[in-house]
Amino acid sequence: MNDSDDGTIEYSVKDGVAHIEISRASKHNALTKALTRKLGEALDRLDSDTQAHVAVLSGRGKSFCAGSDIAESQMATREEMVASRDQMSIGHPFFELFSRSLNHKPVVAALHGNVLGLGLGLALDCDLIVCDETARLQVTETQRGLGGYRHLALMKARGCGIWADEVCLTGRLFSAEEAHSAGLFNRVAPSGTALDVAFGLATEIAANPPLSVRETNRIRRWHFAKLVREIAFETGNLKLHLTEDFEEAVRAMVEKRAPGPFLAR
């Protein structure tokens, strides 16, 4: 299936391992609501697929996922923004991606290229993470005025400590090796091999009794899901996507200039 501006999600299975691929290469796999829903459908398919016991999630082309689609999520009219739901809130298609699972089959993220904002958030929702050594990673929500609190909490839950404070408060780019040293990723792969390494890890998992793996992963996910729901509840009324600072950050990005001054409103 050819990639298009709208994008699609590819799904295949071999030897007990499913491959779920975000296919919107022309836009660095940026996620729209429609593409996010398709991803949710693929994860639902994995959950019920008797031939698949584990999955590898990757992105086609030059990037894993460059985040949310800017035109849809951050350049809408004021009326559309007011009516929209925060991507990190309960009920948004992104929030619900892993919440409907019944069998809790592990998903191994294979990261490469740009892994930014919502794309990094998607990786953090996966169960294991393999990252190409050349990947570009960033909590872009901080600089965009949306807040990096969800990324911070999930990084802390993975044991990243004070390093997570730094990258989420500064919003700076960071490397795969730096993140691996902090405990964020399971493996760092030589350039161009992240997908192969992720499949190797998935194959190791698939060799185990499936119910044993699923129950282990169910408990892991339960703790993460509880944390994510607590964050959504605590931050649900912030509506940072309606602030003047957010508008300025987006305008500056589109106009390719330094943002500011920010007014804390």
CA distance 251 to 123: 27
Which of these, 61, 42, 55, 48, lies nearest to 15 by C-alpha position? Answer: 55
259: CB partners within 8 A, 6+ apart = 143, 248, 249, 251, 252, 253
Tokens of 263: 């007014």
Distant-in-sequence, close-in-space partners of 94: CB < 8 Å, separation ≥ 6? 31, 36, 87, 88, 118, 121, 122
The whole-angstrom separation of Cα 258 and Cα 194 is 34
Would residue 141 show up in a list of annotated catalytic residues for this protein? yes
Taking CA atoms, 156 is separated from 81, 90, 182, in Å, by 30, 21, 10
227: closest CA among 86, 98, 44?
98
Catalytic residue among 72, 141, 177, 178: 141
Helices 210-235 and 149-157 meet at what angle, rounded to 10? 140
Residue-wise burial string across 22-33, b where 16 or more C-beta atoms lie within 10 A, e elsewhere: bbbbebbbbbbb
The residues carrying an active-site annotation are 141
